[in-house]
Structure 1
């Protein structure tokens, strides 16, 4: 398991019933542009991505029993490691995200975004990033094809057990002869570093979940991964063991989709 030099804030946002996917994505895209233009975001963020669903891999998701997503957008913001962030050295607290979340201009943007339900049905949290695979290509621009997996924790598993089981699935996949097809393969584990501040901002408490992100240089490489019989076997067996798509009646938080990534800030 690789350690990480960055931490991440994630917002998972579903479209309200009165908006189509296209309308919702346009509104979130405009919000992302406005956030990226804020001086506090330019100062404190290493990267800001908006991740939009596409349908390129739907057939392959269904073939291994993965549940497809309702209209969903993921916003991820990377910043320095938690240990490095301290607004007041004595308290060793999260400077960058604390400063971001307290910024009046950001707060106003989020209030305005309530017009299209940006916060009300969201789950948002800080996360630790565990990197399983990263290639030289992935260190540059975003890979052409991305898959986002949002897995809700089954009630019979603790947070630690859930993370261990998911890491086990990922390790089995990376041990197969498809690793050269992956540009990156990361696990985003929830932590409560900014939970208090998010709730003060009007976000609901986060759902108990984790996120896996896989990237490949192109669609053909990603399809090779999903069409590999041993990969399919690992996914089917592992996800049956987790039972994530049968133990929770809200499918928005257990879903998988291929995605387009729009990078709004990149300070790496």
Structure 2
């Protein structure tokens, strides 16, 4: 049985990879500082619905090697969700927001960073356990491939994946994020690189054990073979890693944040 697909919120995705001259600890500390400073801005508190900070971990290293993928430098993803594009634009065009990211090493293209506006499409969403394991797949559209054609093929393959019995049993949430054009001009004006069409698949497994069950399932293995052939992706253009997801802000915190802002203004 196919799982209903829903397109929900708009978001900004920042994908950052640790440069060779920084340790994982140093790299993640820099990202944490950036996020903390950004969340202090009133424009962010009043327009954002949710922000997650995602760091790669070593949970799936064995799976990565078994799939023939190369080990990658540590990743960090900053995902901020908004109700509308207008809310996104209000934040991205705000002077203090622009000054905060201007010139930062984490946002430089030569450092492997890419930031883009994206849409979130939910494929599976059901209550999960407290022991959930997160997996992230990042795919770039191959050179010469039409992005819309690639997107249709990828979504068809993802629909087949979520319909597999092993997926239905072991995956509590699966979302597809893909970059659009809604903020491209604003991001370029800020000197932030907008990459060629990129897709991010975020899976939440019931546990690490369940993730292993999905990866070793015969249906999944066949689907992976079909994906490599149908999407014509090079393994160089695919990254897969376990992730630690750290919630930093959600809309229920808005009244608290607004009260703090008012108190600060009146004092």
TM-score w.r.t. the length of structure 2 is 0.84
State how many pairs are aligned: 246
The match for 2:52 is 49
The match for 2:139 is 151
Distance 2:100 2:134 in 1: 28
Match status 1:97 vs 2:52:
no
Distance 1:9 1:46 in 2: 12
RMSD (Å), alpha carbons: 2.0
Q: In terms of mean alpha carbon deviation, does 195-204 or 220-229 score higher?
A: 220-229
C-alpha displacement at 1:166, in angstroms? 1.2
Residues 68 and 7 (structure 1), Cα distance of their counterparts in 2 relative to 1, 3 Å cut: farther
The match for 1:187 is 176
Q: Return 5+ residue gaps in structure 2 as ranges.
A: 253-267
CA contact (8 A) 2:8 2:122 kept: no
TM-score w.r.t. the length of structure 1 is 0.84
The match for 2:206 is 217
Q: Where do residues 77-92 of structure 1 align in structure 2 (5 Å cutoff)?
A: 77-80=80-83, 85=84
Match status 1:237 vs 2:226:
yes
The match for 1:167 is 155
Per-residue CA deviations over 1:134-164 (Å, capped at 9, x if unaligned) read: 10338xx8x7311111101012421111111
Match status 1:262 vs 2:246:
yes
The match for 1:119 is 108
Match among 132, 139, 142 for residue 123 of structure 2:
132
Residues 67 and 187 (structure 1), Cα distance of their counterparts in 2 relative to 1, 3 Å cut: farther
Distance 2:125 2:199 in 1: 19
Distance 2:162 2:93 in 1: 40
Q: Return 5+ residue gaps in structure 1 as ranges.
A: 86-93
Distance 1:68 1:8 in 2: 28
Q: Secondary structure at the match of 1:148?
A: strand
Distance 1:227 1:10 in 2: 30
Q: Where do residues 57-68 of structure 1 align in structure 2 (5 Å cutoff)?
A: 57-68=60-71
Match among 2, 10, 19 for residue 5 of structure 2:
2
Query: Which protein shows a greater Rg?
Result: 2
* Structure with higher helix content: 2
